[in-house]
Amino acid sequence: MTNTTSINLDYLAAKYAQTIIQKTKDKKASDIENTITKALGVLQEDGVYACFLYLLAREKENGAVVVDEMLNLLSSLPFGWQTPTNNSNEILRFINEQVTKDLDRLLLAREVLEQMLIYARYGAKARDKGGSEAPGASS
């Protein structure tokens, strides 16, 4: 019997989505929801690179939190990716050279990032409706 290690991508997506909500708890929930919704639209319509480019160029403060957690999620995948510094050029180079270069990795990254953004959007909606924290998030 072979010993294989499985990674629960849904768990990772939920974990980093919750982190976005926790890191933005002092922000207006509708603002973070708007940022996430726009990023999700760009990801779905234009791809991973365009999503990072959009967040870095257009969504300064909230975008930085989302980018950080997207990078943390990608670095937790079993590819040995090292998270780049917060320099926009290094982040975009990393996405271009490490993530989008290989089609299988790109498709996996896109799927898991999309799931994370969906969870984060729901978390922001729940926080807006129910108080200061998303369900399941702990301080």
**Span 84-102, pLDDT tens digits:** 877 899 999 999 999 999 9
Q: pTM for this one?
A: 0.86
Q: What is the mean pLDDT of the chain?
A: 88
pLDDT of residue 130: 66
Distance CA 80, CA 33 (A): 31
pLDDT of residue 138: 45
Burial degree of 91 (CB within 10 A; 0-12, 13-18, 19+): buried
For 29-42, write each residue's pLDDT tens digit: 889 999 999 999 99
C-alpha closest to that of 37 among 95, 111, 122: 122
For residues 119 and 17, the answer to whether their CB atoms sit within 8 Å is yes
Tell me the pLDDT band of 61, cut-offs 50, 70 and 90.
confident
Q: Give me the domains of the chain, ranges plus CATH numbers.
A: 10-129 (1.10.520.30)
